[in-house]
Structure 1
């Protein structure tokens, strides 16, 4: 365990330096040539960046030694149960909980409530995204169990998105498109993707690359549809009033 923690810690540290280093260098260059911020503000930015880097390091290490093996083990176990209905329902529940805990989803919900002056409550946005992710994770499990080609799901899904955009209010279109990005955060890209890979491997006769991967594409599509659907419901409520 200690050896694994050390190896994953080194890899995560290199990734954090690679990700944060250029941003720090860019900030210092802007500070030197253009910004000229007071020393205290520069120190605050650097301290905040260091704290965020430490948090990111711990998060990445935790993902590698916790969520990835956990998700893969659950997917393998569920796939071996030969109870497809239970697997689909369990996958949808795990999708909902994963989106509920995604930090970026909560940030977006807070920003939407702030930008709309409270007219679009963050709980509505959060619930719409989580429900959309849950449904698409369940659909992704069905795809793995049945062997449906990914294109058969994505093409109709994006055609539906385009059709809904023509009828949706512009503010909900903007929120929906951003929701598709934030839903595919680190939790979805580790736990749910590992879940799908484990399920695909457990099927035995499937290519895990062709069938295990692709779930994140469905997850990114789900909130776009669910948030625009929320917009239709909000507009219908206002019209009745």
Structure 2
């Protein structure tokens, strides 16, 4: 457990974001002093929160996921494996803090949309598609085939969904695969893949170790679309659209008092999120794993680190990062809508830079890149992965702002984007395809759901749009890495052939 190394990782991720925000606050955007102080304090909380969270993941979440996957597969009972996998996917999603935030934001769209039924629907979607993903691994089905069939069904559901819920539905796919869901699902998938590889007398089988997160992220999109269709049928017409909030209006106290105001609610949310996961761990220990006391203590220590880390992270994000992001979006959007020209270029450029930097601050991205580097035998370097992800996410955030400014449909981006991503699966090595679709899920985590979404909501309000026009930004963040990483895979394939010839 290298605390200094983890601290360096988070500092290198968060500090550049803080530096750019402060630069804009001192030059272009008139930040009040109290908001600046809140942002700086929130930044420190995010840094230490991410550090503790990543340590907890290493010593608690990842080991239990890998052991559970291996233990379930070794029982040679497909029904038990798939049944327990569904329960794992369902319960881990309930424990995902990003889902609570996004469900509240979607609930602000209409009085007909209720938070907890939506959360349960999303969790069911994840559970079903985690089961499908593990079934694909056990039965050695081609990832490309599973993805193409799933996305055909998904887009059919999306076209039947109420229009203003479509962007929110695709956002749910990105938000679900957050800091709690991704490590456990990836570890579970790698545990299943390793046992299958041993059974097949293979030394390595990394192709099947990746892709589970990408498949799992389809479930929430389909679930929200299906939920919207049900509400439409029940009401007999399109639901009344209400303005969406950024989730920051409840911050009524001024200055540093906002953190004391937020703390009780965040403590409760994190406790309720982690409790189902802790209960599941205990049941696994009793009936499945039977780990020795030393390993059990390490697991519980990891959960405690995760608890403290998530509390600090969410406190800093909601108390400092979200209000700062909304303020930046409102002001730059106001200048762009009033004056156009260089101000439009500036807001798009700012969005591009924020996208490139924010993805590196996502805790799940660090988990993914580390696992990818280890599983690929260090042939896929973390720096190359991060660079590819950063460029893809930067491009997607820039597109989101252009969509808000010019008011064109999200479908103009999603349909061509996913078509290209699926076509690339025919030319990209299977390992990179799995990594790419996993990357799409993990690139859109807490920082995207808080700072970036708040930035786009602020921008949309300046253009006299409802907050619904800002939805879709998480979807685009989740989509562009699918293309970027697969292009990297094709380049890697070409270079490998050239080196061998």
SS of residue in 2 equivalent to 1:167: coil
Give the Cα separation in 1 of the matches to 2:376 and 2:399.
32
The within-5 A match list for 1:43-192 is: 43-82=297-336, 83-192=343-452
- CA-to-aligned-CA distance 1:168-217 (integer Å, 9 cap, x gap): 1111100000000110110111111111101000112x2221x1111000
- CA-to-aligned-CA distance 1:8-42 (integer Å, 9 cap, x gap): 11111111111110111111222233433222222
- CA-to-aligned-CA distance 1:42-83 (integer Å, 9 cap, x gap): 222112211210111111111110111011011111112221
**2:482 aligned with 1:228, yes or no?**
no
Give the Cα separation in 1 of the matches to 2:385 and 2:492.
11
Alpha-carbon distance, 1:2 to partner: 5.3
Give the Cα separation in 2 of the matches to 1:41 and 1:77.
51
Aligned to 2:289: 35
Q: Number of aligned residue pairs: give it.
A: 239
Give the Cα separation in 1 of the matches to 2:351 and 2:380.
29
SS of residue in 2 equivalent to 1:37: coil
**2:469 aligned with 1:215, yes or no?**
no
SS of residue in 2 equivalent to 1:119: coil
Report the TM-score when normalising by structure 2: 0.46
Question: After the TM superposition, which of the residue ranges 182-191 and 101-110 deviates more from structure 2?
Answer: 101-110
CA-based RMSD: 1.3
Alpha-carbon distance, 1:103 to partner: 1.8
Give the Cα separation in 1 of the matches to 2:432 and 2:288.
37
Alpha-carbon distance, 1:4 to partner: 2.4
SS of residue in 1 equivalent to 2:425: helix
Alpha-carbon distance, 1:3 to partner: 4.3
Give the Cα separation in 2 of the matches to 1:233 and 1:38.
46
Higher helix share: 1
Q: Which of 441, 459, 463 lines up with 1:199 in the alignment?
A: 459
SS of residue in 2 equivalent to 1:81: helix
- CA-to-aligned-CA distance 1:142-192 (integer Å, 9 cap, x gap): 111100111111111111111111111111100000000110110111111
Question: Do the aligned partners of residues 32 and 239 (structure 1) sit closer, same or farther apart at CA in structure 2, a change above 3 Å counting?
Answer: closer
- CA-to-aligned-CA distance 1:117-149 (integer Å, 9 cap, x gap): 111111111110110000111111111110011
Question: After the TM superposition, which of the residue ranges 103-112 and 93-102 deviates more from structure 2?
Answer: 103-112
Report the TM-score when normalising by structure 1: 0.95
Runs of 4 or more off by more than 6 Å in structure 1? none
